[in-house]
Amino acid sequence: MKKNIQQIGSIKVIQFLFKLYKVSPIGVLGMVISQLSFAILTTTIAPIFISKLMTQIARGDATLNNSVGLLIGYIIALFFGDIVAVRITLALAYIVESKMQALTLEKIMENQTAKSFNFHSNHMSGGIVSDTNKLIGSIERFWDSLMFTATPIIGAVLSVTIALSFIYWQYAIVLFVLALIITILIIRFQTSIAPISKKVSIRSSAQTAYFADVISNIATVKAFSNEKYELKSYKNKIDDWKTATLKEMRSVLVITGGFGLMLTIMNISAFLAAILATQYKIANIGTIYLVINYTLSVVIQLWTISSITRSYIRIIGDASPMITMLNEPIDLLDPKNPQKVQINRGGIKLENIVFGHEQNKLLFNKLNLVIKPGEKIGLIGHSGSGKTTLTRLLLRFIDIKSGRILIDNQDITSITQHDLRSKIAYVPQEPVLFHRSIRENITYGELDANLDTIQAIAKMASAHDFITALPKGYDTLVGERGVKLSGGQRQRIAIARAMLKNVPILILDEATSSLDSESENLIQKALWKLMENKTAIVVAHRLSTIQRMDRIIVMENGQIIEEGSHKELIHKNGVYTKLWSHQSGDFLKD
């Protein structure tokens, strides 16, 4: 059963790679034609001239006069076959393959950005990058080997057999059947190694992903002086990969060894046929030359198949993880017939929602919550109580298991994800920025905003001053994930980005947690202005942040355990009262 699944995988991989011909059918046809002419001219036509020349020489009637035509024919066959045809294929290969690669890259980007948040929580970005690179590399290798090796082999074997059948048909049949058997055997063996190659590829991606993870956590590695530990763990990953590679090598050696044996038999059979032909005076020296030459050509071509075996199975192994990802259905889809979005007031209703990150562990079990249009909600609760998860469910980053989420009476699964998210401005808990300019990071909220608007918004988000103090101002690049900015600066950029998006619902997940009290006060004012006429959900650990909200919701293990205004809750003598009194400085202790 297991073997079966992997076999289907290999065929699917080949199908995927092969179907890329659609990118440029004419280009591919051009390559096939030029490679077939190359094979026919060099392996079949050119030896005919030589054989004629040899017969003349053997007969002793070869003179410069009657032989020059044969020589010129030979040279032309070689020239057009080798130099011209191969150059044409080469040029076409560059054009066609880069087109195929470009299209695939676009497809991968489209597919990866369409994948759900959940998918990306479970996949390492380094692994995805590595799988992408490997697929792109294998497209080139697949088409190169198909055009430069497989096509000439087919051309050579067929044309040689046809030519031979005119001079020695019994031998032509034997040669053709042998070549066919060998080819079938190669294909069978190739598919048997494919699963091992896939393992090699998966392990190679795993080591790349580990490497990328270490580099992106370099500050933590250094702070804990764990360089040696990381190296050791990384070595284990490399060893896993190496072990799989060696296993692959053993299989390759066995297969190519057996293969060499078969080719030797073919070689010897050519000489035996030649000896028999002269013994029984069936043929002259020229014909015998042709028979041996043709056999050697076929043997060499078939030997090439064996030498590309390794690269071929690697191609399958390398291409398979990303193609598998491309073939996997997207786990979070837009409805087939989406409704027109009607979100404009921002009233939110959670009806009996059931959700758990893990299969058998529920975080929300029939949670109900109604938020009136324009209501400002403060969401608090201990770490892990489900606040961030709740905001992600509202954005439909993940789907609930049962129940409904309605916004302005519209089920969020009945509209497109794009329409839903175009109505919500969101500042995530840990805003990471693109390695682009500050200006581009802010305009991400409204792609065609002009500089005046950006600056006005940045001022509101108390970001303008620090931005203008940077060497390149709004054009400063922020470093990967925004590492060149402080946590508070990153948050202010993320807030400005959300402010720029003028929409009915605002979700801030700890948006001000990294700010000092002074900056927070300034931003609070701006945020209050921003929240006017909007529905807002503000998650905070710092209770002062949400004190003025219309309603404060206290969560515990995915349940709402208290709700009301600050004034109401403070007198309730419940969890909120306790949290409030526990706040030393301004922070909630967990």
Residues near ligand ATP, by CB under 6 A: 121, 357, 363, 381, 383-389, 429
Residue 36 or 379: the one with the smaller Cβ distance to Mg ion is 379
Phi then psi dihedrals of residue 486, to 5 deg: -75, 165
**Can residue 192 be called a binding residue for Mg ion (CB under 5 A)?**
no
Check residue 44 and report its DSSP letter.
I
For residues 543 and 580, the answer to whether their CB atoms sit within 8 Å is yes
Whole-number Å distance between alpha carbons of 272 and 563: 96
Residues 88-147 that bind Mg ion (CB under 5 A): none
Smallest gap, in angstroms, from Cβ of residue 384 to ligand ATP?
4
Smallest gap, in angstroms, from Cβ of residue 235 to ligand ATP?
29
Residues 347-406 that bind Mg ion (CB under 5 A): 387-388
Residue 40 or 494: the one with the smaller Cβ distance to ligand ATP is 494
Whole-number Å distance between alpha carbons of 38 and 482: 55
Residues 403-432 that bind Mg ion (CB under 5 A): 429
Check residue 20 and report its DSSP letter.
G
Smallest gap, in angstroms, from Cβ of residue 385 to ligand ATP?
4
Sequence-distant (≥ 6) Cβ neighbours of residue 530 within 8 angstroms: 460, 499, 506
Residue 389 or 443: the one with the smaller Cβ distance to ligand ATP is 389
Residue 304 or 429: the one with the smaller Cβ distance to Mg ion is 429
Q: Which does 77 bind (CB under 5 to 8 A by kind): Mg ion, ligand ATP, none?
A: none
Residue 475 or 586: the one with the smaller Cβ distance to ligand ATP is 586
**Can residue 284 be called a binding residue for Mg ion (CB under 5 A)?**
no
How distant is the alpha carbon of residue 54 from its chain centre?
Answer: 57
DSSP per-residue letters across 223-279:
HTT-HHHHHHHHHHHHHHHHHHHHHHHHHHHHHHHHHHHHHHHHHHHHHHHHHHHHH
Q: Which does 504 bind (CB under 5 to 8 A by kind): Mg ion, ligand ATP, none?
A: none
Whole-number Å distance between alpha carbons of 364 and 389: 10
Largest CA distance in the chain: 122
For residues 197 and 317, the answer to whether their CB atoms sit within 8 Å is yes
Q: Which does 357 bind (CB under 5 to 8 A by kind): ligand ATP, Mg ion, none?
A: ligand ATP
Residue 478 or 540: the one with the smaller Cβ distance to ligand ATP is 540
At residue 380, the 3 state secondary structure works out as: strand
Smallest gap, in angstroms, from Cβ of residue 523 to ligand ATP?
19
Residue 116 or 145: the one with the smaller Cβ distance to ligand ATP is 116
Smallest gap, in angstroms, from Cβ of residue 429 to Mg ion?
5
Binding site for Mg ion (CB under 5 A): 387-388, 429
